[in-house]
Amino acid sequence: MGDALFGVLIVGGLLVILGLFFASFWVQKKRHERFRAWALRNGWSYAESERALIDISGGQPFGQGSARRAIEVLRGTHDSRPALSFTYQWTTGSGKNRSTHRAHIVGLALPTYLPTVEVTPEGIGARLAKLVGAQDVQFESEDFNRAYRVAATDQRTGHAILHPRLMERLLQGDALGNAWRIGGTWILSWETGTTDLDRLAPRLGLLAAVVRAIPRHVWQDHGYDPTPTTIGQPDT
């Protein structure tokens, strides 16, 4: 009787495990189908993963932990610029302390290389970063200084990009709380969690507003001469 009961428990456990596996598989399959449908409607492409994207940036949240992956990759255009979206996933710890972390990354390609300018909401994380020597650029706007932490590899470029008109734009409700970084040939934004398709357009819209606000002389200083009507104009 005992052996029979043990056998039933083993079989039952296996069935539960298989059930959970197939349920997870089904949910993921439906998620991929939803992403492909979104990409088709919007003229974008979709790939389940793209390894090269794990090295797209050296700043946060990249370069942490292990088992790094770029999944749910969407590529297309926004505001006439190459755009992308993906879920960045990594793990920290081991054994019982092993944790999986995810961030939804969106980005726009830039026409030339620019020095790093990182803008993050002020908070505990920003204060800790300052303690370990992160470069914190201050501006004349106290409202902006209270709302954001700015780190720049070239303070002159940082001040030129974050001019009063752009700072005013970044203090609007839809911009507050967003973290973004110009670095190399991309401007990227990140949020905790997996890809949220409903957040994709407004977040790309904010990045596009930042790019349009970059003064023409900043581009020219870095080897690119845009037409005055496409870059450096007020965002409407």
**Residue 96: band (very low, low, confident or very high) from pLDDT cuts 50, 70, 90:** confident
Residue 228 has pLDDT above 80, yes or no: no
Closest CA to 74 of 226, 216, 204: 204
The label of the residue with tokens 């919007």 reads: 42
How much helix, strand and coil, in percent to the nearest 5, is found in the chain?
A: 40, 30, 25
The pLDDT value recorded for residue 94 is 85
3-state SS, 200-214, equals HHHHHHHHHHHHHHC
- Strands 99-121 and 148-152: what pairing? antiparallel
Residue 224 has pLDDT above 90, yes or no: yes
- Based on DSSP, count helices (H) and strands (E) in the chain, helices before strands: 7, 6
Among 13-22, 74-83, 164-173, 181-190, which stretch is predicted with the lowest mean pLDDT? 13-22
**Residue 133: band (very low, low, confident or very high) from pLDDT cuts 50, 70, 90:** very low
d(CA 148, CA 176): 9
| Chain mean pLDDT for the chain | 85
Q: What is the DSSP letter of 158?
A: H
Strand partners, 104: 87, 191
Pair of tokens at residue 68 = 């790094």
**Residue 227: band (very low, low, confident or very high) from pLDDT cuts 50, 70, 90:** confident
The pLDDT value recorded for residue 22 is 45
Closest CA to 105 of 71, 134, 82: 71
In the predicted model, what is the mean pLDDT of residues 33-60?
A: 95
Neighbours of 209 (CB within 10 A): 19
Residue 131 has pLDDT above 50, yes or no: no
The pLDDT value recorded for residue 138 is 84
d(CA 6, CA 18): 18
How far is CA 34 from each of CA 29, 71, 151, rounded to the nearest angstrom?
A: 9, 14, 37
pTM here is: 0.82
Residue 20 has pLDDT above 50, yes or no: no
Terminal CA-CA length for the chain: 78
For residue 24, which phi and psi values (nearest 5 degrees)?
A: -65, -40
Span 166-219, pLDDT tens digits: 999 999 999 999 999 999 999 999 999 999 999 999 999 999 999 999 999 999
Pair of tokens at residue 144 = 């902006």
The pLDDT value recorded for residue 21 is 45
d(CA 192, CA 204): 16
For residue 138, which phi and psi values (nearest 5 degrees)?
A: -105, 150
The pLDDT value recorded for residue 1 is 53
